[in-house]
Structure 1
Amino acid sequence: MSFTAWLFFLPACFALNMAPGPNNLLSINVAARHGFLRAFVGGMGRLVSFAAMIALAATGLAVVLRASEAIFFLVKLAGAAYLVWLAIQLWRSNASPIGGTLDSDASLARIAWRECLVAAGNPKAILVFTAFLPQFVDVAKPVGAQFGVLGASFLALECVAIALYALAGVYLGRFLTRATVRRWFNRTCGALLGAIGVSFLLVHRA
């Protein structure tokens, strides 16, 4: 991979990082309810799934996932089911005061685990690593090192995206002083997560 190809990769990659999706929506919701730091640190959980996907793509194992309709369908189904479950939990959640006592659902471990599972069940993320990243790899050169550079760049830009969405959530949190507004904010986030989950079922392999 040439330096020029890497420069072309960065803006295209960042556009993918910043695209509205279930993980970024989670960051907004967590930041609005529990603050920037909890949303940002918890958001690192998604990097575990993304790093695993990059490793699979680099070793060629992702080809199996991409080629198998059954496995891809199971991933879609699991991801959709989990997002719908999260949507229901948000819809039914209590409108606890912003900055109030944190419950177990707001622990960093729980937030990070939720981010990890949402990322792992996202078929669009799988397609990014099996179809998008390889476009920038020069097969005439060592592939592993190139995937390492591309993967590290993706994860670094993902950290920036997490921070930006968390900041957006903190800004929105200023308007959630009334319990009714907080309740409808949670329900809106839940409805969007549910819609994204259903849309997962419409994703097809290239």
Structure 2
Amino acid sequence: MTQQTWIAFFVASWLISLSPGAGAIKSMSTGMRYGYRKGLWNIFGLQLGVIFLIAIVAAGLGAVLAASQHAFMVIKWLGVVYLVWLGIQQWRAEPQPIEFHDEGGHTPRQLVVEGFLVNASNPKGIVFMLAVLPQFINPHAAQAQQYLICAGTLMFTDVVVMSGYTLLASRVLSALREAHHIKWMNRTFGSLFVGAGALLATFKRSAE
């Protein structure tokens, strides 16, 4: 991978990470409820999801999902159901005081798993990776090394962006501590999750 190619992918990575999506919603929701430090576990899970998506594309399975209507629809609707489920859980959450410690609420392991599933269950991300990554991969050079460079670059930009979303939510949104404020925010984030699921449900492959 040449330096010019890497710079182009670096720019693309920022655009990918900054694009509003389920990961950003999950980061803000977690930051609001648990604070920045505990929100890092969610960010870690999101990055595991990014690694999973890149590994799928690198292994060629992304092409299978892009070519198979049945496989695509199964993964797509699993993602829709999961996002809607997160939205319902957030909507029904009790307006409890926001926690900034590790006791109570979700455990770090639960936050990691949820973050992973948000990215890993997104077929739009798989197809998007399939469309973007090959443009930066030299087929005549070592494939593994190039995919590792792309993965590291995308993870770096995503960690920075998701950390910003989490920190913003923990510092700004957490200032609203009254019960009716927290209830309003829970329902706002719940609606955003459901909206992200509805948007995913309308996603179609470019071939369709």
Question: Is the structural similarity TM-score above 0.5?
Answer: yes
Name the structure 2 match of 1:199: 199
Name the structure 2 match of 1:34: 34
Report if aligned partners of 1:105, 1:111 keep a CA contact under 8 Å in 2: no
Report if aligned partners of 1:49, 1:116 keep a CA contact under 8 Å in 2: yes
Which residues of structure 1 form unaligned runs of 5+?
none
For normalisation by structure 2, the TM-score amounts to: 0.93
- Once the two structures are superposed, the pairs formed by residues 159-178 of structure 1 within 5 Å of their partners are 159-178=159-178
Name the structure 2 match of 1:133: 133
Name the structure 1 match of 2:180: 180
Name the structure 1 match of 2:96: 96
Name the structure 1 match of 2:155: 155
1:25 to 2:62 alignment: no
Higher deviation after alignment, 141-150 or 168-177: 168-177
Structure 2 CA distance for aligned equivalents of residues 160 and 100 of structure 1: 21
Output the amino acid matched with 2:35: G
Name the structure 2 match of 1:50: 50
Which residues of structure 2 form unaligned runs of 5+?
none
Deviations 1:110-139 (A, max 9, x none): 111111111111122112221111111111
Deviations 1:146-187 (A, max 9, x none): 111111111121111221111111122343211101100010
Structure 1 CA distance for aligned equivalents of residues 83 and 179 of structure 2: 24
Structure 1 CA distance for aligned equivalents of residues 10 and 75 of structure 2: 28
Distance change in 2, residues 1:4/1:130 (3 Å): same
Deviations 1:47-71 (A, max 9, x none): 2222122122112222112211111
Name the structure 2 match of 1:142: 142
Superposed CA RMSD in Å reads 1.6
Deviations 1:74-93 (A, max 9, x none): 11100100111111111110
Output the amino acid matched with 2:161: A
| Aligned pairs, number | 206
Structure 2 CA distance for aligned equivalents of residues 99 and 64 of structure 1: 43
Higher deviation after alignment, 163-172 or 86-95: 163-172
Output the amino acid matched with 1:28: M
Output the amino acid matched with 1:172: V
1:8 to 2:12 alignment: no
Report if aligned partners of 2:44, 2:112 keep a CA contact under 8 Å in 1: yes
Report if aligned partners of 1:98, 1:176 keep a CA contact under 8 Å in 2: no
Name the structure 2 match of 1:111: 111
Q: Does the residue aligned with 2:205 lie in a helix, a strand or coil? A: coil
Deviations 1:19-64 (A, max 9, x none): 1111211111111111101112222112222212212211222211
Report if aligned partners of 1:98, 1:173 keep a CA contact under 8 Å in 2: no
Q: Does the residue aligned with 2:175 lie in a helix, a strand or coil? A: coil
Report if aligned partners of 2:49, 2:116 keep a CA contact under 8 Å in 1: yes
Report if aligned partners of 1:96, 1:179 keep a CA contact under 8 Å in 2: yes
